[in-house]
Amino acid sequence: MTPPSGLPSRLHHTAYVTKDLEATRHFYEDILGFPLIATWCETDELFGASRTYCHCFFGLGDGSALAFFQFEKPEDQALFGPELPSSPFIHLALACTQEVVDAARARFAAAGLEPSFELDHGYCKSLYATDPNGMIVELTVDAPHAPDAASLREQAHGELRRWLAGDHTSNNVYR
């Protein structure tokens, strides 16, 4: 699918700080099945000091990646690595096929782990898991009857105006 003119073609990567790269690698590569595609070990002059860190990238199907930093010095880790929020409303959601979700669920079981929870949103079904950093990751499968992005976009501004004006009636007819 070609992106509309003037928009980025895809997410390159999104980055987070972790206290334990190996635990993070295990979760994303061994449990969720995202391959480790690059590891950069670097020292840079950043924000007034020389900082040494390792930066790992875990690949997604579209060529984008999830990236995690771990710093050598505890003071750098504390400065750049505040705790990730652990809230169901602050999470990373990734589009998957049912086969990808089923394979992740099987890897969880093989490792003796349980996903955090599952939710049927009507327009998609999601499996939620919490990574070693406390971040919630949602693996989501669109329902076959889910509306396409173009039809949702046509209604998006009107629905937002309606909600902001005080009409909080649900518009999710898929549940």
pLDDT of residue 138: 93
Looking at the structure, give the CATH architecture of the domain made up of residues 13-142. Answer: Roll (3.10)
- Look up the pTM and report it: 0.84
pLDDT of residue 6: 80
DSSP H stretches of helix in 6-146:
21-25, 74-80, 98-110
Q: Where are the domains of the chain?
A: 13-142
pLDDT of residue 10: 82
- How far apart CA 2 and CA 7 sit, in angstroms, is 10
pLDDT averaged per 10 residues, the chain (length 175): 70 91 95 95 92 94 93 92 74 92 94 90 91 91 84 86 88 80
